[in-house]
Amino acid sequence: MEDTYNKKTIKRILDFEILPLLPLNIVELIKKVPINQLINLEEIRLRPTKPLMLVINNEDFMINDDGRITNESSKAYHTTKDDIYKTFHFISQYSVYSFEEELRNGYITLSGGHRVGFSGRVLLENENIKTIKYISGFNIRIAREVIGAADKVLPFIINGGKALNTLIISPPKAGKTTLLRDIIRQLSSGVDEFGIKGFNIGLVDERSEIACCYEGIPQNDVGIRTDVLDSCPKAKGIMLLLRSMSPDIIATDEIGRNEDVIAIEEAINTGVTIITTAHGSDLDDIRRRPTIRKLINKGFFDRYIILGTSSGVGSIEAILKGNNFENIYKCKKGKKIQCG
């Protein structure tokens, strides 16, 4: 497994891809923080009149005026309205009108695959989000891909040279997207160990979190035979790929709506393998959701991969067979896959 986020890498990412989005006073504060404390930086959160937050290893930290990490709000730097105003214009490159689609979506994907989420006043038109005005917060998420994150699970989701229909189940921020991304990468590019030259994969990346496309180009490695539908609703994307791209596998993230289930049934019935994810703590948890329960009861999935945090983010808690729900993961329970 290759985790390339060392001091040199995170410094380059910050200097060239993240800090140019921020006002100079905040840039200077973050640059005062020792770089070894920022290697596992995941998010930078800005809220007007509230402390500037750094999320490191899934924990919130604040910065004082000396660039020291603190847990005391009274000693932390508090983001100003002017900081929010400047950040918005840096992100939009002073062109708000060309930014309307991103505002409707509530986020923008940047070069490097990083993602900025917005909060503010939502304006509706015909019950749909028209735009977000009076931006009141930013969440800058640092893109992190972990090459080899899928090494431990691949032997369980390949059989006779074919990928199996697989559902990855995990709580929020427990590594399911990182795992899915590396499964896609390896199955697309080929796995010599299993005699697989590579599958044609159609990826429906509705929230731009898997491939993290910027101007149509994936910023993360999703393999050499992967076709990406970026910012496309899952159900529509699955049907489009079936009609136009002749995929061996279709992958997508976070299913749950009834139309998702209908599209997945259609794909599986045509012989296409589905690899996808769902929020939940275990199989019983997602069975409480009527839409996903339909797929489970009909036996559409051959494997269920359960992730958790028992040994840290990305712990493999179980891998279940689809026909009898037997746990076939014989390694030490809670074996961690390194996830960003």
Query: What is the domain-level CATH number for residue 197?
Result: 3.40.50.300
Domain with 327 in it: 154-336
* 160 plus 305 within the same structural domain: yes
Examine the fold and report which residue of 108, 141, 174 is the final residue of a domain before the chain moves on. Answer: 141
Mean pLDDT (the chain, rounded):
91
pLDDT of residue 1: 46
- pLDDT tens-digit series, residues 285-294: 999 999 999 9
Q: Quick one: pLDDT at residue 94?
A: 56
Same domain, 87 and 159: no
Specify the pLDDT at position 63: 95
Give the global pTM. 0.86
Q: Averaged over 159-163, what is the pLDDT?
A: 93
In a domain, 295, yes or no: yes
Q: Percent of the chain scored above 90 by pLDDT?
A: 74
**Model confidence over 15-63: pLDDT tens digits?**
999 999 999 999 999 999 999 999 999 999 999 999 999 999 889 999 9
Residues 177 and 230 in one domain: yes
The pLDDT assigned to 92 comes to 84
Residue 161 has pLDDT above 70, yes or no: yes
Among 2-6, 59-63, 89-93, 270-274, which stretch is predicted with the lowest mean pLDDT? 2-6
Q: What is residue 4's predicted lDDT score, i.e. its pLDDT?
A: 53
Does residue 71 sit in the same domain as residue 220? Answer: no
Instruction: Examine the domain organization and report whether 125 and 171 are in the same domain.
Output: no
> pLDDT band at 339, cuts 50/70/90?
very low
Q: Regarding beta strands 273-279 and 249-252, do their DSSP bridges make them parallel or antiparallel, or are they unpaired?
A: parallel
**What is the average pLDDT across 301-306?**
98
Whether 149 is covered by a domain: the verdict is no
Of the given ranges (233-237, 292-296, 334-338), which has the lowest mean pLDDT? 334-338
Q: Are 210 and 132 in the same domain? A: no
Q: How confident is the model at residue 178 (pLDDT cuts 50, 70, 90)?
A: very high
Is 1 contained in some domain?
Answer: no
Q: Among residues 141, 169, 191, which one ends one of the domains? A: 141
Question: Alpha carbon of 65 to those of 19, 25, 54, 139, 273: distances in Å?
Answer: 17, 10, 14, 21, 53
Report the number of distinct structural domains present in the chain: 2
